Structure 1
């Protein structure tokens, strides 16, 4: 059975127990691709991201890590990385994983403990801002950081990207290079703070989270109307 929780039928996938293919089984892959056909081409990247975020969050397999490393190797060495989280870090501090700090906005320790051993980074300031406000009502901040240790694509970015690259219509419209460049979320064992980009008050974080949740629900409703 798929997950529940009010996210809408179009984003809930059935569970298939056979035919695993590097972390995403054939049945699940086909189910996603079939539903994606109902989604306008411009909205498919968002659809793939949302459906994978709800259903396919387990850690990368060995095969997926290998393919992830090939993509990471294509990054410009001067690519800046950002992290959104609790305020209070200063230049030179190290960002450590949820398994060590206890701060776990993605609730990884309960459901995906091995993923809780990583620090999550992004090349997008806007994306970092999304996590900077998820502080449980405490002040948040966006940091410029330097990853340390092996760098890999975040699973919630990698699997949607693989679906996009398998979508012939998307590849034809945007090209593989553009789709790959849309992968902005990464993970590593720890990261060093190089500077503070922006800080947010506790009140701002609380209000911003409410707005973000409303926007997410609006997106789910829109996909449902496409033919769940």
Structure 2
């Protein structure tokens, strides 16, 4: 098990090993509901509904899904007309993204790399997602800066990550996780952006992970648009 004093490459390997195992053990680890690839906002949670509405209003364009998991967000964005780059650490998940995208008859680009050091084209993306990935990153500011450099003027960023308002379950504590305090560095990073949504969800019941006992999470959920001319 990694500790906070171990180098980044050690904890990243632990995260990769955990998710390779989870993705290999289950046909679908995330988004097991039949709405996974649907584009109608009213079929989704309020947060994901708003993401879909905003994404649709900015399509077509280029999108970057950082920590894409099994690719549900990636595939929905591709269906909206985006040219999507999906960055995912787990090689098992990358194969699943490609398989699921093929089944849904959309083309996406899958990059089997860490979001810590993946090469990103400068100023290329109109939409950037960190949906459930930043809490697996210790130095969030460095990743956010790299995502900013890859963002076009007016780009929208979508962020959802664990907050510290609820203690992690034993199952999630088995992998290195770095929740964010409410009002912390991630929110400060976006303080000069146009905030479309900032909400705290506390003690939300979670039943979706196969093999995990019922537990609760708290989240910070944020949607922000980069102002034209913002550095």
On whether the aligned pair clears a TM of 0.5, the verdict is no
TM-score, structure 2 length as denominator?
0.27
The structure with higher relative contact order (CA 8 Å, sep 6+) is: 1
TM-score by length of 1: 0.28
Larger radius of gyration: 1
Q: Flag the structure with higher helix content.
A: 1
